[in-house]
Amino acid sequence: MGKATVNFKEGMRRLGIVLGGLGCTAGAIASCLLAQDVQLSWSAGTSKESLLFDGFVLLALPVLGFVIPWSSARVLAWICSGFSA
């Protein structure tokens, strides 16, 4: 493996981590905004069963915010490296 290939892989790995961190932060912010709406709905007496899905979304947004950009950068690096391991 040449030095350029190693540098490319390392750069794409770091890019994936940075994009994943930014996505996780964006997901956490969106989760906090949604949590305010859920709390208002809860105090207004909305059916608890209808709020269950919103609770799952609250938990999933930061995780998905990390995984989607990170995996996209990994797939792009894999494609650019010629489908090698």
- Using a cut of 0.85, tell me whether the model's pTM lies above it: no
Asked if residue 85 belongs to a domain, the reply is: no
Residue 76 belongs to domain spanning = 3-80
What b-and-e string marks burial along 57-70, b requiring 16 or more CB atoms within 10 Å of the CB? ebeebbeebbeebb
The tens digit of pLDDT for each residue in 35-48 reads 888 888 888 887 77
Contacts of 58 (CB under 8 A, 6+ apart): 31, 34, 35, 38
The count of domains in the chain is: 1
Asked if residue 24 belongs to a domain, the reply is: yes
Q: What is the pLDDT of residue 1?
A: 62
Asked if residue 27 belongs to a domain, the reply is: yes
